[in-house]
Structure 1
Amino acid sequence: MAIDKKRHEDCYMSEKCEKYDVCPMALVQKLLSGKRKILILWYLSNKVLRFNDIKKRLPDVTQKMLTQQLRSLEEDKLIFRHVYPVVPPKVEYGLTELGKKVIPILEMMHEFGAEYLELSLKEHDKESDIE
């Protein structure tokens, strides 16, 4: 898929993009950058999860870092946090309607990743055959 240069040149935001923080692409990058935000959104695309369920899927992320990323996603209105009034505390996280709009992008990223891995494996196999 070729990049549509004309689309970028004619972008209605082109003058505003000089400020960087208002460029739509820069905004999406800011929203999704962070330690494992993309994976958090991906896991929440299937169902509502509790903190420990997310933590188990991301063993290399500290509790503090996961909390920060969840708070950031919540502040950006991509996920919701529901606290149940019970003891011990029960907290669940899920995608907001806005967060659900990110899922098609994540699905395309997943598809690209799978294709890339497949091509990389084929290249590796070819290189192994040459040796």
Structure 2
Amino acid sequence: MYERKIPLNLNCGLDLIGEVLYGKWKIRLLWFINAGHKRPSELQRKIPDASRRVLNIQLKELEKHELVTKKIYPVVPPKVEYSLTDFGKSLIPVISMLGNWGDENEERLRNVILKRSESN
């Protein structure tokens, strides 16, 4: 089992947000679930670079943090759907603002990222 090496630091809002949203795909998962992509296979198609295992882990963490709910339908084969909680929906405007900032600064951000990856 995973044992945390660095103790939790939850002294301010930024620490709390980092703890809840840390994970490469979590923001995208929230965005795509909000857009109506609720089944794990749909989310996998929207984020093909992520493995199914990693997406499942991050969905489980989002569920533990009460941002999404998971509904399992009693059918064969099993059907699972995710949806945002009201708490999760409250993050969508923030994610939208971050996306807009990224779009407005796309060229500069791309140059900075490429410069950094070339120097490694």
Q: Which amino acid aligns with 1:81?
A: K
CA contact (8 A) 2:37 2:43 kept: no
Give the alignment of 1:6-45 within 5 angstroms.
20-45=9-34
Q: Shift in Å at residue 35 of structure 1?
A: 2.5
Following the alignment from structure 2 to structure 1, what is the Cα–Cα distance between the partners of residues 9 and 66? 21
Q: CA deviation at 1:33?
A: 1.0
Aligned partner of 1:120 in structure 2 is 108
Contact 1:79 1:95 in 2 (8 A): yes
Runs of 4+ in 1 over 3 A off after TM superposition: none
TM-score normalised to the size of structure 1? Answer: 0.73
Pairs within 5 Å for 1:45-124: 45-117=34-106, 119-120=107-108
How many residues matched?
Answer: 103
TM-score, normalised relative to structure 2: 0.79
Structure 1 unaligned residues grouped into runs of 5+: 1-18, 124-131
Q: Which has the greater radius of gyration?
A: 1
> How far, CA to CA, are the matches of 1:68 and 1:22 in structure 2?
26
Where does the alignment leave 5 or more consecutive residues of structure 2 unmatched? 1-7, 112-120
Following superposition, the deviation at residue 48 of structure 1 comes to 4.9
- Percent of paired sites with the same residue: 37
State the SS of the aligned residue for 1:49: coil
Q: Which letter maps to 1:69? A: Q
- CA contact 1:48–1:95 (8 Å) conserved in 2: no
